[in-house]
Amino acid sequence: MNNLLNIKTPAESIAQIRKADYNLSNQGVINLRLAYWNLTTEALVEEAVFRNEGSVVAGGAFDANTGKHTARSANDKFVVRHTDSENNIWWGVYNRPFSGDKFEVMVDRMLGFLQGRDVFVQDVYGGADEAYRLPVRIVTELAWHSHFVRNMFILPQSLEEYKRFVPEFTIIAMPSFKGAPAVDSTVSDTFICLSFEKKLAIIGNTAYAGEIKKSVFTILNYLLPLEGVLSMHCSANVNPDNADDVALFFGLSGTGKTTLSADPTRRLIGDDEHGWSDNGIFNLEGGCYAKCIGLSEAAEPEIYATTKRFGTILENVPFDPITRMIDLDDDSLTENTRASYPLEFIANAMPEKKAGHPKNVILLTCDASGVMPPIARLTPNQALYQFISGYTS
């Protein structure tokens, strides 16, 4: 928000209380109007409503409309090509190379754009295993994006921990900042651009919060294998009576990872992103980002209950402006409606967010070609083959 009139906002008086000693100025972010550091969920909801970023709906959830982008923009994602990292990256349609010089120019323009504005800062961790967790600083233009970050990642536990926080990576997300394809060599005026050498990711012209989440996963997906840890796009749960009875559920978005992992008879480790080290499985996140189109209380009671709870963020879910009742069957904005909530909103979630090695690995697919029966038990070699082949249709 560009607060040209210097209007006092709800959290302005406490904005600097949880400010880290390692300041934004250490990262070249200067001349802001005000940075709001590590605000609580309650304060961020107040700020978001004050700034007209969305609405509080029946039950207490915050509902935001992400505008033009209601899903990730895969064609607008780039990785800076550099001699230190280029041999570790599989370049192609999903990992598009970007010039380091162009990245520097774009960062400078974004830093100029930030001057005189308000930003929200959250210092968080990616990774529940302390041996592998990554300190990340996420700077956002929108208060509800800062709330999203608090929902989705692992938080410091004390004022002292906030004060001495030093990020290894920084992400800056500015939906109202547009790229200039003629100058920046981007595909469009939307961009998600990451430099492993600068330890910086910048996101512009998209308010879809999933870009922030996936940027952290992209970073960990690069770093963890270099430490001998497998990074995985999967959900995970565990037998409450046996920490070594872990199940993993791999699958594309919408195939059922979140639903199956929220089994009330098992403990939830996480619904989307995990690492597998010599010690076992650990969640890379602190929350869930569930698809909620067609969600029903009868079929998915645990996830459905989160949509009626303060602290949950709903993305692009239509609601009645009079009654504030949401309509989870309405896909008029997008089929990719989402709910973001802390993992502890699921009653059987594991606070530790980690467990032993998996006993069962399940690949969720949509087989339109009849390659295998509806349920197929594979040998380890068959499972490896199908996984590496990216089996789906």
Closest among 150, 306, 128 to 220, alpha carbons compared = 128
Amino acid at 274: H
> Does residue 257 carry a catalytic annotation?
yes
Give the residue from 80, 167, 163 showing the smallest Cα distance to 126: 167
Helical spans, DSSP H, in 53-158:
100-114, 143-152
Active-site residue, from 19, 145, 257, 266: 257
Per the annotation, the verdict on 117 as an active-site residue is no
> Nearest CA to 146 among 34, 14, 27, 36?
36
Q: Which of 253, 334, 365, 392 is catalytic?
A: 253
Q: Which one is catalytic: 63, 272, 307, 354?
A: 272
Q: Among this protein's residues, is 233 annotated catalytic?
A: yes
214 catalytic per annotation = yes
Among 233, 309, 324, 357, the one annotated catalytic: 233
| Residue 364, both tokens | 């969720």
* C-alpha–C-alpha distance, residues 292 and 340, integer Å: 10
- 18 is an active site residue: no
Q: Report the C-alpha gap between 249 and 213 in whole angstroms.
A: 19
CA 94 to CA 253: how far, in whole Å?
16
For residue 53, list its beta bridge partners: none
Question: What is the rounded distance in angstroms from the CA atom of residue 34 to the CA atom of residue 6?
Answer: 10
> What distance in Å separates the CA atoms of residue 230 and residue 384, rounded to the nearest whole number?
14
- Say how far apart CA 98 and CA 118 lie, in whole Å: 29
Query: Is residue 264 classed as helix, strand or coil in its secondary structure?
Result: coil
DSSP, residue by residue, 314-336: EES--B-TTT--B-TT--SS-S-
Pick the catalytic residue from 81, 133, 338, 353. Answer: 338
Q: Angle of helix 143-152 relative to helix 41-50, nearest 10 degrees?
A: 150
Whole-angstrom Cα Rg for the chain: 21
**Known catalytic residue: 253?**
yes
Active site residue 147: no
* Helix runs in 280-364, H state only: 301-306
Beta bridge partners of 134: 126
One of 51, 145, 214, 274 is an active-site residue; which one? 214
332 is catalytic: no
Neighbouring CB atoms inside 10 A of 199's CB total 15
From 72, 267, 274, 353, the catalytic residue: 72
238-243, Cβ contacts within 8 angstroms, sequence gap of 24 or more = 238/266, 238/267, 238/269, 238/350, 238/355, 238/356, 239/266, 239/267, 240/265, 240/266, 240/267, 240/348, 243/280, 243/355, 243/356
3-state secondary structure of 349: strand
The set of catalytic residues is 72, 214, 233, 253, 257-258, 272, 338
